[in-house]
Amino acid sequence: MGSVYAEIELINGADRVLLEMGQITEAEVRRVALRAHVDSGADLMCINEQVNGQLQLRERGRVPATLADGSIADLALVGPLEVVFENRRANVDALVLPGDAEVLLGAIPMEYMDVLIDPRRRRLIVNPEHPYRAQVRLA
């Protein structure tokens, strides 16, 4: 299929809450627009140290993660992070990859946003079959 990339916006989720509470202005919300590698083989959102430096997300812990080369690395888990693609949003935590590694949009945020990979056009699209809706499972 080849590589798929998408233009997304990443927003510091804590800043978004402070904005909604009237404690900061829109200009103070930390955000970054970037081109992310759409990787359905990755579970989580993965940002790099540079992006995390811009967003200043809070570390929630460290977790072992299997990298593409099969090695295991102890990575910081940060959040809250709001991911925006077109008219879709997901609030997730993210793993921080070393240095300026490629940002990865993984399967979990893709599922939250109800977006799909169009393999023919090699692009990310919103699900044309369903209007945007929250998917909630009650116990």
Residue-level pLDDT at 69: 86
Q: Which residues of the chain have pLDDT under 70?
A: 1, 131-139
Residue-level pLDDT at 36: 98
- Cβ partners under 8 Å of residue 20, min gap 6: none
Q: Where exactly are the structural domains of the chain?
A: 4-126
Fold for the domain defined by 4-126: Cathepsin D, subunit A; domain 1 (2.40.70)
Residue-level pLDDT at 46: 97
Residue-level pLDDT at 136: 55
Provide the token pair at 92: 């997730």
Provide the token pair at 12: 């510091």
Helices (H), ranges, 42-100: 49-55
Q: pLDDT digits over 100-130, tens only? A: 999 999 999 999 999 999 999 999 999 988 7
Unique residue bearing structure tokens 């090695």: 71
